[in-house]
Every structure is written in C-alpha cells, then in structure tokens.
Amino acid sequence: MHNENETDDDVFVVPIEDAIDLHHFHPREILDVVDAYLDAAIEKGLYEVRLIHGRGKGVQRANLQRRLRKDPRVERFAESTPDRGGWGATIVWLKEPAQTTEEQEG
C-alpha cells in the first residue's frame, strides 16, 4: 500500500518464505512481484509456494493463473486447501532449475 511518502521507485524487501501475501501490493504491481518472488523462491530452494491473492471478485486470481499457465518455471498450480486460504490463495509447484533448463534445450 502506498502512502504520501512513497514513490513508484520505492523498493519493498519481502522475506522469501513459502507464501507471499499480495494484499500489500498495488494491483498493477502484482504480476511483477510474483515473477520476482518465484525466481527468489527457486533460488532459495522452495518448490511449493502459496500466493495469497484474496477472494474478492476473482480478478487477481484469474490474472495470476493466466500468467502461471504460461510460466516455464511452474510445474502445476491449484486452488489452496480450505485450511490454507481456499480460493483466496493459489498453491504453485515449481520446477527445479535442472527441469526448466532441460525442457528449454529439448
């Protein structure tokens, strides 16, 4: 969320854990944030992550899942289980780097 002291150039440092809450970001930033987060998660050795996008009208979920379908780092994804956010979160299983490289070369 922005306040009057922030600019578009401000950098947010997000700890890389197995989940990221996207409510803290402006909707236009979310796809870029997720892109950077997935890179950092793979670098840290996390291959199952949860993207918390909220329930709302489903716009963010649809945008994220459309992007995830095309992402070569993503093995698969699914709606989270009810105890971990239900349809307000998406679980993403990432490919290990060797898998991604082999598929791009093949």
d(CA 20, CA 31): 12
92 in a structural domain: yes
Residue 28 inside a domain? The answer is yes
pLDDT of res. 3: 47
Residue 1 is predicted with a pLDDT of 44
- Separation CA 9–CA 25 (nearest Å): 13
Report the C-alpha gap between 94 and 71 in whole angstroms.
Answer: 10
> Residue 47 sits in which domain range?
19-105
Look at the chain and report how many structural domains it folds into. Answer: 1
* pLDDT value of position 101: 53
For the whole model, what pTM was predicted?
0.77
Residue 14 DSSP SS3? coil
82 lies in a domain? yes
User: Is 89 within the bounds of a domain?
Assistant: yes
What lies within 8 Å, CB to CB, of 42 at 6+ separation is: 73, 94, 96, 97
CA 85, 93, 71 angle in degrees (round to 5)? 110
Query: According to the model, what pLDDT value does residue 100 have?
Result: 54
Domain-located, residue 100: yes
SS3 33: helix
Reading the chain (106 residues) residue by residue, the pLDDT tens digits are 444 444 455 555 667 889 999 998 999 999 999 999 999 999 999 999 999 998 888 888 999 999 999 999 999 999 999 888 888 999 999 998 775 555 655 5
Q: Which two tokens stand for residue 17?
A: 């854990």
13, part of any domain: no
Q: How many CB atoms lie within 10 A of CB 51?
A: 25
For position 41, which CATH number holds? 3.30.1370.110
Position 65 in a domain: yes
In a domain, 2, yes or no: no
